[in-house]
Structure 1
Amino acid sequence: MFALALSVGASTMTLPVLAQQEGDDEPKGGKWPQASLRAEASEQIAQDTVRITLASEVSDATQSAVAKSLSKTLQSVMDDAKGDAKVKVSSGNYHVWPMNNEKGKISNWRGRGEIFLKSTDFAAASELAAKLSDRMPISNLDFSVSPQVRAKHEEALLTQAVKAFGQRAQALTDALGFAGYSIRNIDLSGAGAQYQPAQRMVGMAADKSSVPLEGGTETVTVSIRGSIFLQTTQK
């Protein structure tokens, strides 16, 4: 699905890539009139990557006891998680903090550590998370579009956006009764992604069965902003 937009105004854009040269083709006493245009192309893309956050929380009387217990769990889970080549494993947040009683004194210590599982193979990531759930249960799921897939779609969208910009520039030129146009400057950019999260379940069953994972979609957009010279005569 492609969405195209046009706006006309007096402002001009930065980052010139192609400029009109001043010379005999310019009207006497001033420059050609200018117009600012915008065009964009969008497409819904299925999210093909999942990041599962595994977390462990511990509590003990001393800071060292909390750190030792948490580090032992993290190291154990990290060692087992690295055995699956389909899933990328990395360390997440790690934090140890004191808990105070009503008198403001430290009563005990708590700690929390995370490990991230990232993969384009949802089944493999789910099975690995289930395997590790007795030591570090799932605390969060995030879905996204991989950089490789995003780049491929943005390349196709760029062609569509450039074509739309040219069509809009010509339509504006014709509507205002000018003979032609030339590009003054152009700025190309992505317009960001709109997320449509899918239904997702967090937590593990007692028998360590894998969690069903299903990604949503993202609206990937490529936009073009620029300005043109409106010419009274053809070059």
Structure 2
Amino acid sequence: MQPERLQNVAQLSASGSVEVQQDLLSISMTTTRDGADAGTVQTQLKQALDTALAQARQAAMPEQMEVRTGNFSLYPRYNKDGKINGWQGSTELVLEGKDFPRITSTAGKIQTLTMGNVSFALSREQRARVEGQAQTQAIERFKAKAGEISRSFGFAGFTLREVSINANDQGQSPRPRMLAMSAKSDMNESAVPVEAGKSTVMVNVSGSVQMVAQPVRP
């Protein structure tokens, strides 16, 4: 059986994009400890994390501020002879959600950990809503381009052969106004100042159309 011979087929693509404010904040709180004994270092890290967890859980609220533990590490230090001469470790607590004031205020109150990183993103709900808008935009542009190409070649219209839809978002650089760690003592009971950026959600529609001589409904 011979493969189908393609005639009057056009390959094309179109995209749609929507810019939206990032609505998900994540703050990482960390601390490090070191000492001669691994057990002592581990205990100190656990105490620091437990205290921070207890404080953070008081303000936790589903979707608005979720609390979870992050990375925990404990590793030896070596002297110039290659022998262990101490231990060092770190632990992490992550505050994440949509309620920026609640998250930043909680981060400012935690004293056993210091702020390690601030990041912004889109929540699933926000991304889904904006993707729908960008997808509608991309599809309409794809159809318009297909019609224009068909008419330019003297055809009356087109039928869709195959199509692929891909979405992604590109975050613009946020502008977190980070406080110096040396100023931690001045942050008691105060919110950590942050400022979110924006993301551009893009949807690309690509595929092929069959150009036809008779009028058709795209």
Equivalent positions of 1:87-102 (< 5 A) are 87-102=65-80
Structure with bigger helix share is: 2
Q: Say which SS state the counterpart of residue 200 (structure 1) adopts.
A: coil
* 1:89 CA drift (Å): 0.3
Amino acid paired to 2:176: R
Say whether the 8 Å CA contact 1:123–1:213 is kept in structure 2: no
Asked if 1:150 is matched to 2:101, the reply is no
- Mapped to 2, the partners of 1:88 and 1:196 lie a distance apart of 24
Question: For the residues of structure 1 that align with 2:45 and 2:185, how far apart are their CA atoms?
Answer: 23
| Identical-pair percentage | 28
Letter of the 1:109 partner, please give it. W
Task: Give the direction of change, closer, same or farther, for the CA distance of 1:92–1:172 in structure 2 (3 Å limit).
Answer: same
TM-score, normalised via structure 1 length? 0.83
Aligned: 1:52 with 2:33? no
| Residue 94 (structure 1) shift | 0.4
Residue 37 of structure 1 is matched in structure 2 by 12
Structure 1 residue 228 and structure 2 residue 209: aligned?
Answer: yes
* Matching residue's letter, 1:44: E
Would you say 1:207 and 2:186 are equivalent positions?
A: yes
CA positional deviation for 1:205: 4.2
Partner secondary structure for residue 139 of structure 2? helix
1:9-24 matched pairs, under 5 angstroms:
none
Aligned residues: 205
- Counterpart-to-counterpart distance in 1, 2:57 and 2:171: 30
Cα offset for 1:121? 1.4
Matches within 5 A, 1:184-199: 184-190=161-167, 192-199=168-175
- TM-score, with length taken from structure 2: 0.89
CA distance, structure 2, for counterparts of residue 202 and residue 52 of structure 1: 11
Shift of 1:31: 4.2
Pair 1:129 & 2:107 matched:
yes
Given residue 201 of structure 1, which amino acid in structure 2 is its aligned partner? R
In structure 2, distance between residues paired with 1:32 and 1:152: 38
Of residues 197-206 and 110-119 in structure 1, the stretch that sits farther from structure 2 once superposed is 197-206
Which stretch shows the higher mean deviation, 166-175 or 74-83?
74-83
SS, match of residue 28 in structure 2: strand
Can you give the 5+ residue segments of structure 2 that lack an aligned partner in the other structure?
Answer: none
- Could you list the runs of 5+ residues in structure 1 that have no partner in the other structure? 1-28
CA contact (8 A) 2:177 2:195 kept: no
Cα offsets for 1:68-120 (capped at 9, x unmatched)? 11112111211211111242100100000001111111110000000000021
Q: Is the 8 A contact 1:39 1:161 kept in 2?
A: yes
Asked whether the 8 Å contact 1:32–1:231 carries over to 2, the reply is: no
Separation of aligned partners in 2, 1:95 and 1:180: 63
Structure 1 residue identity aligned to 2:116? S
Q: Distance in 2 between matches of 1:162 and 1:67?
A: 56
